[in-house]
Every structure is written in C-alpha cells, then in structure tokens.
Structure 1
Amino acid sequence: MLQGLLNLDGGVLLWIQEWVRSGLLTPLVTVYTHLGDSGMLWIALSVLLLCFKKTRKAGVVSLLALLLSLIFTNGILKHLVARTRPWLTVEGLVPLIAEHDPNSFPSGHTSASFAAASAWWRTLPRRWMKVTAVVLAALMALSRLYVGVHFPSDVLAGVLVGLLCGWLAWLLWRRFAAWRGLEP
C-alpha cells in the first residue's frame, strides 16, 4: 500500500511536469517559490504587520508561528524522516530549481506559508486579508510541486504542520495576552 502511495506521489509530479509546466508560468512560479526561501516573504509581511496598531497582534502571532514551524519542520521532522528529494527517486522528473537541503518531508516552504496564514486567519481584522493569506499560502504549496522539489505528501504534511503551528502560536498569544491583561 505504501509503495502505491509513493508511486502516486511521483505520478502527480510527472503529470505536472508534462501537462502544467509552461514557458509563461515557469518564470513566475520560480520567482514566487524563491520568495519563500528561509521564510523571507512571510517574515517580511509579519514585520510589516507589526508597524500598524490594528495588525500588530497578527505580526506577533505569525512570527511566533513561523518560529514554531522552523523548529518542527526543519529542526525535527526533516531529520527524523530523512526522505530524499523527488528527482532522486522519480525517473524522468526534472527539478526547475536547485534545492540544497537533501530532505524533502515535510515541505518547509509550505509549512511556513500555512503557519503564517493560519495565524493571520485568526488575527487579521479584515476578511479579505485572511482570504489573501490563505491564497498566498496555497500558491506557495503548489509552487513546490510545480518546480519539482517536493512530493505531494510532503506538501500536505507541510500544510498540516503549518496549520498546527499557527494554531499553537495563537493559543500561546491568548495565554500571554490574558496573563498580561492585553486583551479584554
């Protein structure tokens, strides 16, 4: 059964390579996926949110979520699972970018994007901001498949870890805010 899932994982990537990749999309997706390197897009947006009183809480909670995502994904899970990158095991798959971390599971880019989006969903004041955060996170997750550096199961695990980190950060903020009397 596990081998069947692994074959499906590789098959999805080969399908994307064959039917979705295009000369128009590739430069756009490549640039976007690199914006997620080291979580820089999400860190920059979180710092920007710190600059405005109405979004300051969103900035703090998302930075905490990003830290938790880094610890769980890159500090623990990638080393425990030690799954190799897809181009090393899926015959015919050509990655569009160089990825220097040999471990694939879970996707750190996806985890960071969903950690921030999850934190923002709970803390941003406007619905359009929340929806935009989730759309940006989903696009980051899809970009990792498009460029061929993660299996779909890596990305799904990254989504789940990111959502968990966003939720944990929000819970920690609520406890801290109640303790310090920051919120009614």
Structure 2
Amino acid sequence: MNKSLSEILYRQRYFLIPFLILMITGFSLMLVFSKKDLFLLINNQHTAFFDHFFKLNTWLGDGWMTIVVIIGMLFFKYRYAVLTALAYAYSSLAVQIFKRLFNAPRPVKFFEDITPIRTIDGYTMHEWNSFPSGHTASAFTLAVVLSYLLPYKHSHWILIPVAALTAFSRVYLAQHFMEDIIAGALLAVIMTFQLIWWLEHTKWYHSQKLDGRLFGKA
C-alpha cells in the first residue's frame, strides 16, 4: 500500500523496457515514412495465412476479451477483477473522447479518392473515428494489468509481443494507421499506471472484502 509511482514503474521495468523499445521503433518508422506511405507499405504485404491470423489476433483487443478476463479474475481475487474493470473503463472512456474529438478518417475513407487499398473479403470496415485505436488501447491496458498482477516478472516480456501483434493487426486489417496504434498504446499505458498508483493509495482497494473470490476466499 502507498507505493510511490517510481516504485511501481521500477517494479514493472520488465514490461516498460520492451514497451519503450517498441515505441521508439514506431516513432522512428513514422519519422522515416509519411502516414500514407507507411500504411501502403504494410497494406501491400499480405498472405492468406496472415489474413486469417490477424483476423483472429485482433479479437484480443476487443472489449469482450477484457470482459472474459474480468470474469476469470473473480475466481482468483475480487481486487484483480476491480482493477481490470476500472483500467478498461478508464482508458476506453479517454479513447472514445479522443475518437469523437478528432473524428479522423480511417484508411478506407482516407484513400477513397487517392488509391485503392487491399481489404479482406467479409471483414467489416469502418470509415471514421480512427484516432486513437481502441483495440490497441484495450490490449495494452490488459497487458499492463497482467504485468502488474503476475508474480513472475521476467515472463512479462511476452506481454509486449502479444499486445504489439494485436496493435499491428489493426493496421494490417486496414482499420487504422500507425499513429493510431502508437497513440492508443501510449494512452493505455500512461493511464493504467496512473490508475494503479491512485488505487494503491486508496483504503477501499485494500479492504478485506476485495481479498475474497468466487467460491471461496483467496
């Protein structure tokens, strides 16, 4: 209880170090390529295998996946479920506000009068509210929460690739641009760590009632 923000971040260094590397890589690509060229570069790299893979992988960033995780957390400790639910609601609210504030066109709308882009048959495409990526924010919110709760810190390196693939799936599926997923990831990580720090300084979050779990006590 009453952990400082620096203590929390240091504890999560096995998550934060690869995350920072990922962000630097993403920003570097955005500096080298224009928004249009970077999207088209990715859009031109398609195979049947990755079409199916990313259609499945993108569901890891769907809200329903987070709900499944929240339900699963109830069997371990109510506190874990509360943290997951609040983190998801917190970052999702911010994402939805920014989406409507910017109302940015998605790739299919952006390239509508420029050049045809490749889309996947049978996959629903959206035209607006591109910035930031909600799926990316959900994936990274969940990654931060899991990294905070899991006991084996060195295993946290795997959370970044999983979340990164989910984010990349949004560009591969022509639903977002690189800037959208970078913003979604940054927003989720910053807000989730801020929420964790706040919760650690509240008494109700550490109450004995939240130590319980479904079908027994923790």
TM bin (shorter chain): 0.7 to 0.9
Shift of 1:88: 1.3
CA contact (8 A) 2:109 2:128 kept: no
> Which of the pair is proportionally richer in helix?
1
The Cα shift of 1:177 comes to 4.2
Q: Is contact 2:35-2:177 (8 Å) kept?
A: yes
Deviation at 1:52, TM superposition (A): 1.4
Which of these residues, 31, 34, 42, is aligned with residue 56 of structure 2? 31
Larger Rg: 2
Paired position in structure 2 for 1:48: 72
The answer on whether the counterparts of 2:61 and 2:166 sit within 8 Å (CA) in structure 1 is yes
Q: How does 1:65-144 map to 2 (within 5 A)?
A: 65-74=87-96, 76-90=97-111, 91-96=115-120, 97-100=123-126, 102-127=128-153, 130-144=156-170
Q: Are residues 1:59 and 2:84 paired?
A: no
Using CA pairs below 8 Å that are at least 6 residues apart, which structure has the higher relative contact order?
2
TM-score of the superposed pair, with normalisation by structure 2: 0.70
- 2:199–2:205: 8 Å Cα contact kept in structure 1? no
Residues 93-124 of structure 1, C-alpha deviation per residue, up to 9 Å, x if partnerless?
Answer: 23333244621000000011111111222222
Aligned to 1:173: 199
Q: Measure how far apart 1:22 and its partner are.
A: 0.4
Structure 2 letter corresponding to 1:69 = S
Over 4 Å off, 4+ runs: 177-182
The alignment of Structure 1 onto Structure 2 pairs a total of residues equal to 174
Instruction: Pick which of 138-147 and 121-130 moved more.
Output: 121-130
Residue pair 2:79, 2:205 contacting (<8 A) in 1 also: no
Instruction: Report the AA paired with residue 56 of structure 2.
Output: V
Inter-CA distance 130–177: structure 2 relative to 1 (3 Å threshold): farther
* Equivalent position amino acid for 1:109 in 2: H
Please say if residues 108 and 127 of structure 2, whose CA atoms lie closer than 8 Å, have aligned partners that are also in contact.
no
Unaligned runs of 5+ in 1: none
Deviation at 1:59, TM superposition (A): 3.4
Q: Alpha-carbon deviation of 1:85? A: 0.5
CA distance in 1, matches of 2:94, 2:65: 19
Q: Which blocks of at least 5 consecutive residues in structure 2 are unaligned? A: 1-29, 209-218
CA distance in 1, matches of 2:81, 2:189: 16
2:136–2:167 CA contact under 8 A, matched in 1: yes
